[in-house]
Structure formats: structure tokens, C-alpha cells
């Protein structure tokens, strides 16, 4: 019996070492003036706050990783919009609009359950950031910010292995069998 337990532990740990590392980067869009930033936190992204100057551009944002909020990137001196994710839900796309000479004007965060958070004013040039691998989720947002707002934005994606398979996300029958 002990032999089987040891064998299972060895096989399990070696399987964990050989999981493919599926990370990708969606290159930053926007003017790119000001100071650079990259969000950081432990765990999965569970909430987001975005500040916008009404009828104008995005001034800042903040991510919640598990139970802790990151610093504010940009500035938080305008109207705020917030979205919290459900269990096993993740951000899988960021779209929006930017002006190549100054700010990010609109951000649209899309989740693995098809929900979206739309913030800002839909003017100027469109962009769409998404992961290379379908099972990836948003891990880091990077870019640049001036003293007035967000001037560029890029996205870093990664696989979280405790997430259910993509065909099970949003399937309510899964929770009834637990």
C-alpha cells in the first residue's frame, strides 16, 4: 500500500513539472508617454476598478488579486466603475479605443462567462487584446500612464491549471454535482 502511495506521489509531481507553460503577451497600444507600469499580485484576478473622466478617457485602474488590491495605476480622481468576477471566472479579452497621440479612451473587459465591463468613451482607434492559448486568462496589465491618465495598455496572459475546462465554464450543471 505504501508503494502505491509513493508511486502516485512521484507520478503526480513529475506530471506537474511537465505542464506546458502557456504564456502570451498582447503588445501595448497607445501613445506610450509617461511612466511605465505593470500590475502585480498573488493569485488570480478577482475584481477590477477603472476610473474614467466622463465622456472622455481612462484615467486609471486597479486589480484585485484573490483578496488584495494592487496599487492604482494612473490616477483615481474621476468616476469609478467596478466589476467582481464569479468563482472560476476570468478575464479573457480586453478591447477598446485609443487615440494614438494621447490616451486610452475606452476599455472593454470580457470574461470567460461572456460578461463584460465597458468603461469610457468609444472614440478613435479600436484595439483587441486576447491570449494566444484558449485556456489562458489575464494575469498582468502593463503600459504607461501620465499624470492625467492611461496612455498605453498591454496584456499578459497565462494558464491557471485549477480552472475548469473551457467547455465547462458557465455550465451550472457542474456546480450541482459537487
For residue 166, is pLDDT > 70? no
**174 in the Ramachandran plot: left (φ > 0), alpha (ψ -120 to 50) or beta?**
alpha
Q: From CA 85, how far away is CA 77, in angstroms rounded?
A: 24
Question: pTM of the full predicted structure?
Answer: 0.80
What are the tens digits of pLDDT across the range 61-115?
999 999 999 999 999 988 999 999 999 999 999 999 999 999 999 999 999 999 9
Return the pLDDT at 134.
86
Average pLDDT over residues 112-128: 97
**Hey, what's the cell of 94?**
480586453
The dihedral built from the CA positions of residue 63, 67, 70 and 72, taken in this order, carries a sign that is positive
* Other C-beta atoms lying within 10 Å of the C-beta of residue 81: 15
Please give the mean pLDDT across all residues of the chain: 86
Amino acid at each position: 500500500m505504501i508503494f502505491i502511495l509513493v508511486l502516485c506521489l512521484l507520478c503526480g509531481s513529475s506530471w506537474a513539472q511537465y505542464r506546458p507553460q502557456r504564456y502570451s503577451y498582447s503588445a501595448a497600444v497607445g501613445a506610450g508617454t509617461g511612466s511605465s507600469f505593470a500590475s502585480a499580485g498573488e493569485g488570480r484576478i478577482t475584481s477590477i476598478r477603472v476610473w474614467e473622466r466622463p465622456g472622455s478617457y481612462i484615467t486609471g485602474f486597479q486589480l484585485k488579486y484573490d483578496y488584495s488590491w494592487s496599487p492604482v495605476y494612473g490616477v483615481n480622481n474621476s468616476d469609478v466603475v467596478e466589476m467582481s468576477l464569479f468563482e472560476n471566472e476570468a478575464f479573457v479579452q480586453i478591447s477598446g479605443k485609443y487615440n494614438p497621440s494621447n490616451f486610452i479612451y475606452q476599455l472593454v473587459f470580457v470574461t470567460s462567462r461572456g460578461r463584460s465591463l465597458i468603461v469610457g468613451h468609444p472614440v478613435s482607434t479600436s484595439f483587441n487584446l486576447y491570449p494566444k492559448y484558449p485556456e489562458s486568462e489575464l494575469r498582468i496589465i502593463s503600459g504607461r500612464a501620465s499624470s492625467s491618465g492611461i496612455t498605453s495598455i498591454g496584456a499578459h496572459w497565462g494558464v491557471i491549471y485549477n480552472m475548469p475546462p473551457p467547455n465547462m465554464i458557465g455550465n451550472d450543471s457542474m456546480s450541482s454535482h459537487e
